[in-house]
């Protein structure tokens, strides 16, 4: 039985990568980038199978020994770098270990694959330590990175990678992917109305109570801000601040709403990141992009206060004041 990772959408990218294998032009360093939840890690697994699959004509087949070992996460030639530290980065020691491993010949085939998920959390030191391996990789080594944004990667490192964008899918594609996972239809509708074709975020919304609360609060915050209801703002922020993790998630989502509002007011086509389109549009109608950017600055400041161990309650009231003054 074939058990390939089910990749929704992104078919042009899959075809391009398949063609690269057929023509023996697989990249030695692949960077898959795109917004959180759009399926980069699943695609990285698919790519790993594509590279190591034994079925020349139908790679990745999902059936051969290599494909099956990858699916079970037990392939001896596939190594995932381990995160360390608060910011989900990689220690220089981890990178050095990977470099040592990269020098060793493969066990099962011709290629060893090294995965770096969420590589945008990688420190400058760790990136520098990795640079040499990616610049002059051993013939049998392949590096696969995933990242939300490419802005934090060193240009020197980036220039050695083949960067490919991964996109959220259409809403109907998202609905069918979620239906295949057996979620109830009504819940699927609620998730898709919040997060559109971002399957990862929809799944999180369907399975994670905290995300549901955080996105409801972020939507309500956007509306309160559009109507300048200071009391509601304070009440919503304070209640989210009762739990520091909930508060962080709420602020992240609220910040996405601000970003959407800023882009709405500039017109044109764009991909929505927030969880409530109508609220973001209402905010955009009330404020100039410049004010929305100042509000974004206030949220960024709230994040660094939380990092710096300012209490969540204090951060909430300072943020409320800053949003009203922005
Ligand atoms: Zn295979």
Predicted confidence at residue 89, as pLDDT, reads: 85
247: left (phi over 0), alpha (psi -120 to 50) or beta: alpha
> SS3 of 93, please?
helix
In angstroms, the CA 197 to CA 309 distance is 35
Q: How far is the CA of 170 from the centre of ligand 1 (A)?
A: 28
Question: Any long-range contacts for 179-182 (C-beta under 8 Å, 24+ apart)?
Answer: 180/6
* Span from the CA of 147 to the centroid of ligand 1 (angstroms): 26
Residue 53 Cα to ligand 1 middle (Å): 4
* Ligand 1 centroid, distance to 21 Cα (angstroms): 13
Q: How far is the CA of 51 from the centre of ligand 1 (A)?
A: 9
CA 70–ligand 1 middle distance (angstroms): 9
* Spacing, Cα 2 to ligand 1 middle (Å): 9
122 C-alpha to ligand 1 centroid (Å):
31
Residues 11-165: name the CATH superfamily: P-loop containing nucleotide triphosphate hydrolases (3.40.50.300)
Question: How confident is the prediction for the chain on average, in pLDDT?
Answer: 92
Spatial CB neighbours of 301, under 8 Å, sequence gap ≥ 6: 319, 322
What is the reported pLDDT for 109?
A: 81
List, for residues 86-134, the tens digit of each pLDDT value.
Answer: 677 898 899 999 999 999 999 888 899 999 999 988 889 999 999 988 9
For residue 44, report the distance from its CA to the centre of ligand 1, in Å: 15
Q: How many Å lie between the centroid of ligand 1 and the Cα of residue 137?
A: 24
How far is Cα of residue 268 from the mean position of the Cα atoms in its chain? 24
- Give the model's confidence band at 2: pLDDT under 50 very low, under 70 low, under 90 confident, else very high: low
For residues 51 and 113, give the distance between their C-alpha atoms in angstroms, rounded to a whole number: 9
> Do the beta carbons of residue 194 and residue 216 sit within 8 Å?
no
The environment of the single-atom ion ligand 1, i.e. residues with CB closer than 5 A, is 53, 55, 61, 64, 67
Ligand 1 centroid–CA 50 distance in Å is: 7
> What is the residue extent of each domain of the chain?
11-165, 208-325
pLDDT in tens, 177-199: 999 999 999 999 999 999 999 99
* Residue 111 Cα to ligand 1 middle (Å): 14
22 CA from centroid of ligand 1 (Å): 14
Q: What's the pLDDT tens digit per position in 269-312?
A: 677 889 999 999 999 999 888 999 999 999 999 999 999 989 99
49 alpha carbon to ligand 1 midpoint, in Å? 6
CA of 52 to the centre of ligand 1 (A): 7
**Mean pLDDT confidence for 30-37:** 94
Helix or strand holding residue 141 (H, E): strand 141-147
DSSP bridge pairs for 31: 145, 163
Kindly give the distance from the C-alpha atom of residue 56 to the centroid of ligand 1, in angstroms, as a whole number: 8
| Helix, strand and coil percent figures for the chain, each rounded to 5 | 55, 10, 35
CB 99 within 8 A of CB 66: no
Say how many Å lie between the CA of residue 79 and the centre of ligand 1. Answer: 18
Distance 48 CA to ligand 1 centre (A): 10
Distance 200 CA to ligand 1 centre (A): 25
SS3 42: helix
Could you count the other beta carbons within 10 Å of the beta carbon of residue 231?
9
Residue 5 has pLDDT above 90, yes or no: no
- Residues 6 or more apart in contact with residue 74 via CB below 8 angstroms: none
Cα 130 to Cα 13: distance, rounded to the nearest angstrom: 26
List, as one string, the DSSP characters of 221-263: HHHHHHTT-HHHHHHHHHHHTTSHHHHHHHHHHHHHHHHHHHH
DSSP string, 103-118: TSPPSSSS-EEEEETT
Q: How much distance in Å is there from the Cα of 242 to the middle of ligand 1?
A: 49
CATH class for domain 208-325? Answer: mainly alpha
Residue 1 has pLDDT above 60, yes or no: no
Query: Residue 78 has what DSSP assignment?
Result: E
Q: State what percent of residues in the chain have pLDDT above 90.
A: 81
- Ligand 1 mean position, distance from CA 6 (Å): 15
- Residue 322 in this model has a pLDDT that exceeds 90: yes
User: Rounded to 5 degrees, what are φ and ψ at 241?
Assistant: -70, -10
CA distance 261 to 141: 44
Residue 223 CA to ligand 1 centre (angstroms): 50
**How many other β-carbons are positioned within 10 Å of the β-carbon of residue 242?**
11
């Amino acid at each position: 039985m074939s058990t390939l990772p089910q990749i929704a959408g992104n078919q042009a990218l899959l075809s391009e990568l398949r063609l690269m294998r057929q023509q023996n032009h697989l990249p030695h360093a692949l960077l898959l980038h795109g917004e959180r939840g759009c399926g980069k890690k699943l695609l990285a697994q698919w790519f790993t199978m594509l590279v190591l699959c034994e079925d020349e004509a139908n790679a990745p087949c999902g059936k051969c020994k290599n494909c099956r070992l990858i699916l079970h996460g037990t392939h001896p030639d596939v190594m995932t770098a381990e995160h360390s530290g608060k910011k989900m980065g990689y220690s220089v020691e981890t990178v050095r270990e990977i470099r040592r491993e990269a020098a060793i010949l493969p066990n099962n085939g011709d290629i060893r694959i090294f995965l770096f998920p969420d590589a945008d959390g990688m420190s400058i030191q760790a990136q520098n330590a990795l640079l040499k391996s990616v610049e002059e990789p051993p013939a049998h080594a392949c590096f696969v990175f995933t990242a939300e944004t490419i802005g934090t990667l060193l240009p020197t490192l980036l220039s050695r990678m083949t960067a490919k964008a991964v996109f959220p899918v259409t809403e109907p594609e998202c609905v069918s992917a979620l239906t295949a996972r057996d979620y109830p239809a009504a819940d699927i509708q609620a998730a898709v109305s919040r997060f559109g074709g971002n399957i990862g975020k929809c799944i999180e919304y369907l399975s994670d109570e905290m995300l549901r609360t955080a996105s409801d609060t972020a939507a309500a915050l956007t509306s309160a801000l559009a109507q300048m209801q200071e009391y509601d703002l304070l009440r919503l922020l304070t209640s989210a601040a009762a739990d520091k993790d909930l508060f962080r998630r709420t602020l992240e989502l609220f910040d996405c709403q601000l970003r959407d509002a800023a882009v709405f007011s500039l017109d044109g086509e764009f991909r929505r990141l927030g969880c409530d389109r109508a609220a973001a549009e209402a905010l955009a109608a009330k404020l100039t992009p410049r004010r929305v950017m100042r509000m974004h600055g206030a949220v960024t400041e709230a994040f660094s206060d939380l990092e710096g161990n300012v209490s969540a309650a204090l951060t909430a009231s300072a943020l409320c004041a800053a949003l009203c003054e922005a």
